[in-house]
Chains A and B, each alone.
Chain A
Amino acid sequence: MKKANIVCAILGMAVSLAAFIITFGFKQFQNVPIGPEFFPRYLAAGLFICSAALLAQALRAGPQADKPAPTVCPRDKGIQRLLAGLGIITVYSLCWESLGFIIASPFALFALMFLLGLRRYALMAVFSLGTMAVIFGAFRFFLGIDMPLGILYGIL
């Protein structure tokens, strides 16, 4: 966890520094006691100080009480699955407007269940179609909200 904390602290410092520097490009307003740059600057400073404190704490911490940090290494099986899952989810959400919620959802849900290790295909198909239908129907008929229809626009 020590190494992870050091990385987090440095990332925090980088984010806060960037946020701080960008504020100097903000538009200056006349006749206002504090402008739009006031808050972000102090907040960035606060984040920087806390990150520095975390860095100091991590560097001081001895190796004894160190428990292993969770991994984000792409060689890890779980992370590989997560990346694949993120891929499915991203493609799915990008398809909402073109294909439409009704068509994209069953495939995405089916693919996710497959990724999670399910192999009962018939059940998976029924479940993914059913979930889509319940969500779409509930939103449309009870709340009056249509999900994006995509290519089904004008038909439904």
Chain B
Amino acid sequence: MKRLSIVLLCLLLVSGALFATGGSESTAKYPTKNITMICPWAAGGGTDAILRALSAAAEKQLGVTITVENRTGGAGAIGHSAIKNARPDGYTMGMVTLELNSLPQQGLIDYDYTAYDHVIRVNADAATITVKSDSPINSIKDFLEHCKKNPGMLNMGISAPGSPWHIAAALLANETGINYKYITFDGAAPAVTALAGGHIDAVSVSLPEIKSQLDAGNVKCLAIMDDKRSEGYPKIPTLKEEGYNIVYGAWRGISLPKGVDPAIQETIVKAFTEAMKDPAFINQAKNLNLALAYQPPDEFNRFLKENFDAITKTMKAIGLIK
């Protein structure tokens, strides 16, 4: 037994030695060590791709390594919680996505956007109304007319219930007094595939997600829910031009857990603001077809509140929540 206790002691010492090597850090100089960036969505996906590109650009500004950590699952809840619960020392932050404004109302998370110190908004991709290319519906007017004539008959493909694109479709229906059947798919891509195959009538997902089928001529986009027309596809009208004041899209932003030293926050905001101007990052965003939509913290906070209220209203209108 004596030998056993000696060995156990040695184990303890070795682990302890590893532990003791770290020094204390002060907040005066930031950053002094590597930063962890939490991504609530899986590696290889759209959020992951843009976050990695942005992190690479921000590394140049901050001079330390930024490691992207994918904490996924729970329809985004797990990653958002991980950002919120991280130590507010400025060395852990993450990318928040629209789900932050759609999970709380459904009772799926017990906090909301106010639980963070937000840094910047990165992008906002407007929803579209897209139909199959051989559909007799050729404009958003046709579309609304068709829906009015056949109430509740059109098959609208959406990603998960309560997801950004569900709310996009519901927003349009709610504002124009139409309704349709929501056909839920596991994400936007399968919905677009089903549309291209003619199994459903329309989808409400964003431009990057329909791009390959749009270029191939399998689908046509009737309208985009943005302020202005898309640079890449200037022929697609906005809903605003057609007389419906609906602006809606999925956004992403960088946020810190609540309570980070204001001086550190300032450094971070500055670094990411500069990173958004990095040509390599802008090029990556172009490859991903993302619409960059920078907002500084105060604007981003205002936007989050408006967005949250709009989503809550829509959810109530379609009976998703009481």
| Pick from A125, A144, A154: contact of B33, CB under 8 Å | A154
A137 to chain B, nearest CB (A): 13
A106 & B67 in contact (Cβ 8 Å cutoff): no
Is B28 close to A, CB under 8 A? Answer: no
List the B side residues contacting A122 at CB < 8 Å. 7
| Pick from A121, A145, A155: contact of B21, CB under 8 Å | A155
Is B270 close to A, CB under 8 A? Answer: no
| Pick from B6, B8, B91: contact of A154, CB under 8 Å | B91
Q: Which residue of A is nearest B181, CB measured?
A: A31
Q: 1/0 contact trace for A95-112 toward B, CB 8 Å?
A: 000000011001100100
Instruction: Please report which residues of chain A, range 122-139, place their CB below 8 angstroms from some CB of chain B when the two chains form the complex.
Output: 122, 124-125, 128-129
**Most B Cβ at <10 Å: residue of A102, A122, A128, A155:** A155
- Bound together, the chains give a CA A114 to CA B8 distance in angstroms of 12
B18 & A102 in contact (Cβ 8 Å cutoff): yes
Is B69 close to A, CB under 8 A? Answer: yes
Is A153 close to B, CB under 8 A? Answer: yes
State the main secondary structure of chain B at its contact with A: mixed
- Counting contact residues on chain B (CB < 8 A from A), the size range is 20 to 34
B21 & A129 in contact (Cβ 8 Å cutoff): no
A120 to chain B, nearest CB (A): 10
**Most B Cβ at <10 Å: residue of A31, A128, A154:** A154
Is A43 close to B, CB under 8 A? Answer: no
**Most A Cβ at <10 Å: residue of B8, B68, B69:** B8
Is B217 close to A, CB under 8 A? Answer: no
Q: Which residue of A is nearest B4, CB measured?
A: A121
- Bound together, the chains give a CA A107 to CA B8 distance in angstroms of 8
Q: Which residue of B is nearest A146, CB measured?
A: B69
Is B3 close to A, CB under 8 A? Answer: yes
B10 & A125 in contact (Cβ 8 Å cutoff): yes
B15 & A106 in contact (Cβ 8 Å cutoff): yes
- Bound together, the chains give a CA A154 to CA B11 distance in angstroms of 22
A124 & B7 in contact (Cβ 8 Å cutoff): yes
Interface residues of A (CB under 8 A from B): 31, 102-103, 106-107, 110, 114, 121-122, 124-125, 128-129, 144-146, 151-156
Interface residues of B (CB under 8 A from A): 3-4, 6-8, 10-11, 14-15, 18-19, 21-22, 25, 33, 36, 67-69, 87, 89, 91, 152, 181
Q: List 18 A-B contacts (CB under 8 A).
A: A103-B15, A107-B11, A121-B3, A121-B6, A125-B11, A129-B11, A144-B68, A145-B69, A146-B36, A146-B67, A151-B19, A154-B25, A154-B33, A154-B87, A154-B89, A154-B91, A155-B19, A155-B22
